[in-house]
Structure 1
Amino acid sequence: MTNNHASRTPSDRPSDRPSDRSSDQPSAAGTGSATAPQITLRSPAELADALPYMLGLHPTDSLVMVAVHGEGGRFGGRLRVGIPTGPAEWEDTARQVADTLVRGSERRGGKPDGIVVFLCQDPRGDESGQRVMTRLRPLAQRIRLACGALDVPVLEALCLSGGRYWSYSCPDERCCPAEGRPLAAVGTSVLAAAATFAGLQVRGSLKEIEGRLAPLRGAVAEEMETALDRVATALVPKILDGVTREEAGAQTIALARTLMRRMTLAPPVEGGPCADEWDDALLGHDEAAALILGLQDREIRDIAAEWMEHEEAAPALRLWRALARRCVGAYGEHAAAPLTLAGWVSWSAGDEPTARIAFGMALRADAEYRFAQLLHHACNEGIDPEGLRECLREERRRREPRRGRKAAATRPPGRRGRTGARREVRRATGSEQ
């Protein structure tokens, strides 16, 4: 078999892209530090086992590419996109992802010496993992050709499906049999122990993380849409009316503070879906509707973005996730605001994989949502969020002079003009003209 090996450093920044390619384009993340402790991978099995630690999550329905640099095979930039549903898209997808990863790596310091490719998709219906591998083989070949056209070889290409893996690069049946090899149980390998020791976390699967942000369904969704219609009838005229806009904004901020306090006083017993159900039960439909509609005012949303650290961060994240789930039916586009805020709090707290997913979902809800575009780009470029945090702290101090933040939070926000969070993102990321 081929004995391609690559080592990675814990400081490598993963790049996770939204699974809907129509709403966002892929980009590569930065490379790691050559001085950090290294974990060396010497086989397809170890590469397959390492993938969740490289991304910070278990990818599903994903094409993942990782740049490899130098004789030691140091992992650099990485890229994830959803696998296109139709083979007719594979040719364009292969060219685009190859070009994006190679050009992005060149921008950050050097052309890759090779690329490792992962195709991750679970079987559908009565389909077997081996059948998935066979079905995706032409896509793997197109990616290999696209990378070769840029003078960068694919060192290894793996298919992960149904708890097994296959190598598209190894023809030796003795080590890579037709039925594939089983993946190591989660957290049981030597690599998993080393990665955990190095501080690398796996935050669940892509599907699970997206599920915590996806709209509610069924009867509760119908009730929520009715509530949104009802509250919109009363609230939207106030937002559009210049005389009462500040009053409506102050009410939105006060309501958000009230709901955050409610969540702080009622912490969930455990994380995951049960915690989300707990949070959903804490919000009335009309309360959620009023806050969703109020956050469509960008000045109010910019103030909400300031709740990204200390004791405010956890209840704010819970609230933004719950509101994103309430953006149902005809109000799907309204999810861009709470999804972007959820991504911002996650990124600020160091959870980059979840942040990228939230930003990507925000752009699927509204492809022109500028705040999500700026934050998604900055996160994928590996920019330290501390610059933006400091900008938001400064804006908060400017808006709340000589007053306690708790008391000032309900004050009408006023006009921020070009000092809003969008400008602060540009300032913090160096993209302001």
Structure 2
Amino acid sequence: MTDNPLLLNGSEALVHQLPFLFDYHPENSVVLIGVTPAGELLGSVRTDLPADPALWPYVAEELITYQRADAARFKFPTHQIVAYICPDPDDPDNGPQSRLTHQPLADSIRDACRRQDLVLREALYVTRARYWSMLRPGPADGHALPEPPAGLDPAGLPRSSDVLKSLAPATGARAAAMTATLDAVLRTMHADILSGGHQSVVDDAIDLMTTTIAELVTGARQAEDTPDDLTARLLLALQYEDVRNIGLLHCEDHELTAANELWLALARHCPAAYAEQAAVPLALHAFTAWALGDEARSRLALQAADRCIPDQELTNFLIHELNSGASFTYLREHLRKHRVGRSSRTTG
């Protein structure tokens, strides 16, 4: 998240700030920020926009509770809440009708604020082209998104819906072929487990993954050209915790780009029929994107991973690290100790 570039006073300033909260345009999202009475930013939280209206009161209460805890770290004596409701751009009712449809969500956020002795300063419904206040009367067709002030142009920031679509499990003919390959490799792995046990499968997978990343580093292989059988073996083997953890260890500067490309290729080639298998490579892609300085990409990859398997351990760990402002450099030092220890055991 960028430093606060302007005081958040007035609807236009609030709209300007939205893409810079996470360094991407949040869509299909509910976002809450805390602000001081003077308009200074005190933390932000985001979650997917629930499709089921029955969940809106619960989500509103949970978000307010979480945002209040997040704002407490600033040690400011009092603060107010600003809410953003950002619809799915593919929603056919995106616009005035959808704004009315989601008014009860804004009402739930206002009611949750009152129960927790907080003031809801503003609630904005924001599309790609227009915005509306959900607390104050205004024109039915809303307001055009204002021109950004100098030095605060959000045009270069990605849109979350576009990135998440690119990270979603594959469909179509290509995915059908990959599904058949995964079915065949899964049968082979079961046979290998029966004959040699799980550890033999884990050891083979670690060797395969290490060799693949080494080939990517030297340019002997391109991630997008990874054969289907190799992709399938890695997708399935990464479900083992030991294999996943070795994937994390490939975090040195000279191998980060190669590892990042491999995890992305695995996730993008994973078919919808095996969607859960995409969660680990997506989380690893998020880890390496963070290491490479692309925090926005990292957060979106973690969203995609959570959609494949909610509350996965690795995903939750990385979300916590990002939200707490942890240093990748510090985490890498910790991982290096594990890598040295594993190498010592291997070489005797």
Give the alignment partner of residue 325 of structure 1, picking from 258, 263, 268: 268
Give the alignment partner of residue 319 of structure 2, picking from 352, 371, 376: 376
Instruction: Indicate the structure with greater helix content.
Output: 2
Q: Is the 8 A contact 2:279 2:306 kept in 1?
A: yes
Q: 1:73 to 1:247 in 2, by over 3 A?
A: closer
Of 318-327 and 305-314, more deviation after overlay is shown by 305-314
**Which residue of structure 1 lines up, in the alignment, with residue 112 of structure 2?**
146
| Cα drift, residue 209 of structure 1 | 1.8
> Which runs of no fewer than 5 residues in structure 1 stay unpaired?
1-8, 13-37, 268-278, 402-410, 415-433
1:48 aligns with 2:15: yes
1:252 aligns with 2:202: no
What does 1:340-419 correspond to in 2, within 5 Å?
A: 340-367=283-310, 369-400=312-343
Of 362-371 and 220-229, more deviation after overlay is shown by 362-371
**Which residue of structure 1 lines up, in the alignment, with residue 281 of structure 2?**
338
1:209 aligns with 2:171: no
Q: Provide the C-alpha distance between the structure 1 equivalents of 2:25 and 2:56, rounded to a whole number of angstroms.
A: 22
Q: 1:236 to 1:159 in 2, by over 3 A?
A: same
| Cα drift, residue 150 of structure 1 | 0.9
> Which runs of no fewer than 5 residues in structure 2 stay unpaired?
none
Which amino acid in the other structure matches residue 181 of structure 1? Answer: H
What does 1:53-202 correspond to in 2, within 5 Å?
A: 53-69=20-36, 71-106=37-72, 109-110=75-76, 112-122=78-88, 127=93, 129-171=95-137, 176-184=138-146, 189-190=148-149, 193-194=151-152
Give the alignment partner of residue 303 of structure 1, picking from 233, 246, 259: 246
Q: Is the 8 A contact 1:122 1:162 kept in 2?
A: no
Q: Is the 8 A contact 1:116 1:155 kept in 2?
A: yes
Which amino acid in the other structure matches residue 352 of structure 1? Answer: E
Which amino acid in the other structure matches residue 61 of structure 2? Answer: R
1:321-351 deviation line (CA, Å, top 9, x unaligned): 1101222244222222211111111222232
Q: Provide the C-alpha distance between the structure 2 equivalents of 1:314 and 1:215, rounded to a whole number of angstroms.
A: 22
Q: 1:54 to 1:368 in 2, by over 3 A?
A: closer
Same amino acid, percent of matched pairs: 30
Which amino acid in the other structure matches residue 321 of structure 1? Answer: L
Taking structure 1 as the reference length, what is the TM-score of the superposition?
0.72
Q: Is the 8 A contact 1:128 1:162 kept in 2?
A: no
Q: Is the 8 A contact 1:164 1:180 kept in 2?
A: yes
Q: Provide the C-alpha distance between the structure 2 equivalents of 1:255 and 1:229, rounded to a whole number of angstroms.
A: 24
Taking structure 2 as the reference length, what is the TM-score of the superposition?
0.88
Q: 1:10 to 1:151 in 2, by over 3 A?
A: same
Q: Which secondary structure state, in structure 2, belongs to the residue aligned with residue 81 of structure 1?
A: strand
Q: Provide the C-alpha distance between the structure 2 equivalents of 1:370 and 1:127, rounded to a whole number of angstroms.
A: 36
Q: 1:311 to 1:208 in 2, by over 3 A?
A: farther
**Which residue of structure 2 lines up, in the alignment, with residue 226 of structure 1?**
180
Q: 1:290 to 1:246 in 2, by over 3 A?
A: closer
Root-mean-square deviation (CA), in Å?
A: 2.9
Q: 1:112 to 1:121 in 2, by over 3 A?
A: farther
Equivalences, count: 346
Q: Is the 8 A contact 1:95 1:143 kept in 2?
A: yes
1:91-112 deviation line (CA, Å, top 9, x unaligned): 1121111112113322563465
Q: Is the 8 A contact 1:52 1:202 kept in 2?
A: no
Q: Provide the C-alpha distance between the structure 2 equivalents of 1:58 and 1:330, rounded to a whole number of angstroms.
A: 29
| Cα drift, residue 147 of structure 1 | 0.8
